[in-house]
Amino acid sequence: MPRPRHASPAAAGFLILCPRLFDGEAMREDACVWVRDGRIAAVMPRSSAQDGLPHVRLPDGALLAPGFIDTQVNGGGGVMFNDAPTPEGAAAIVAAHRRHGTTGLLPTLITDAPEAMDRALDAGPAILAQPGVLGLHLEGPFINPARKGVHRADYIVPLDAATIARLRRAAALGRSFVTLAPELAPPGVVAALTGAGLRVSAGHTEATGADMERAAGEGLTGVTHLFNAMSQLQGRAPGVVGAAMADERLFVGIIADGLHVDPLSLRAAFRAIGAERLMLVTDAMSSVGAATDRFMLMGREVRLAGGRLTTADGTLAGAHLTMAEAVRNAVAMMGASLPEALRMASRTPAEFLGLGGERGRVAPGMRADLVALGPDLDVLDSWVDGEGTGALG
């Protein structure tokens, strides 16, 4: 293995010795990953590792993979982003999910008063300075009341000039995106938003197949939590679900907890869409990483029972799910292979966000955002820009 001359071991980085490596494309056995200056310097057989550099040796049966990227995280660690759209709030959410292998996420602001969005946008630069925050996800308030789910109807607003101007501010914040109802977006609005640099996803929507075709033609590239809060697939009315399955321009998020989507539907979606476009998301709430079975969501109590989060009337209110669990469920429920499940948790969301050139693979020049998994896919450690938690030394 090459090593810079006259460099101290600290300056030269460190090695991760792994019995198995998923590099974003394929599985490799007995690999060595050289991390230096927050990036991958080289990937080689473990037998080529040079003595003298600090190293982390993964235990037998362990696997190193690209760190998970979650594009839909409402909360964690007892914090809801709507309640704390601040650097401190984002840091608490990131810490809760990092323990479960997520090295990059988008704090998600669900439909709220305009002032709440302004607070998040005002704090946006400081929020993005937190390691592991890749952008903001604005899920609403430009959604269809008929598909509002747990979102408050009194905060839903039209896409007028003022709200479009507010969204343009989000375009400057990392790899942010907005979830909206395409059928309620006047012609040209999606094109204006994507032209400003904001990604647009369809969700909480009654869009027809024609609506989706028009929006995708203007630059819409995402579908938010497939099957949930959207028009379904019918023979003569393909809806959002049909468009998600048929249109290769679209990346598709899905909540793989077996509660939001039946396992049979998970398998159908995986077979139709594939790991190149299907993304695992958690839609996680503040209960993840917190010792509580209830919390308040905009004046309504949400309770956790049997892994399900619901309001008093039985409406699903986000998910009590981690990315590590979603990966396990993708294998057990979707019928995905382990490499396919890992891709849906890392490389595919990276490509949706336009970050495929620096995240989602373990290859020279890529950011050293990594996760070490045990034989049961339990998280042993993770690294963000080459900084580990110290769990493995």
**DSSP state at residue 80:** E
Please name which of 212, 216, 223, 158 lies closest in space to residue 191, comparing C-alpha atoms: 216
| CA dihedral (365, 28, 33, 371) positive or negative | positive
Tell me the H-state helices in the chain: 9-12, 87-98, 114-122, 124-128, 161-170, 189-195, 209-217, 239-246, 263-273, 323-329, 338-344, 347-352
For residue 164 the two structure tokens come to: 């479009």
What residue type is 148 in one-letter code?
K
For residue 161 the two structure tokens come to: 């000039």
CA dihedral 23, 28, 32, 35 (to 10 degrees): 0
Q: Is 60 a catalytic residue?
A: no
Return d(Cα 126, Cα 380) in angstroms, integer: 29
Classify 286 as helix, strand or coil. Answer: coil
Please name which of 216, 208, 255, 250 lies closest in space to residue 232, comparing C-alpha atoms: 208
SS (H, E, C) 26-58: CEEEEEEEEEECCEEEEEEEHHHCCCCCCEEEC
Active-site residue, selected from the candidate residues 283, 313, 369, 385: 283
Q: Tell me if 193 sits within 8 A of 167, measured CB to CB.
A: yes
What residue type is 1 in one-letter code?
M
Q: How many CB atoms lie within 10 A of CB 16?
A: 27
Return d(Cα 230, Cα 233) in angstroms, integer: 10
For residue 269 the two structure tokens come to: 């979606």
Please name which of 135, 132, 146 lies closest in space to residue 108, comparing C-alpha atoms: 135
Residues forming the active site:
283
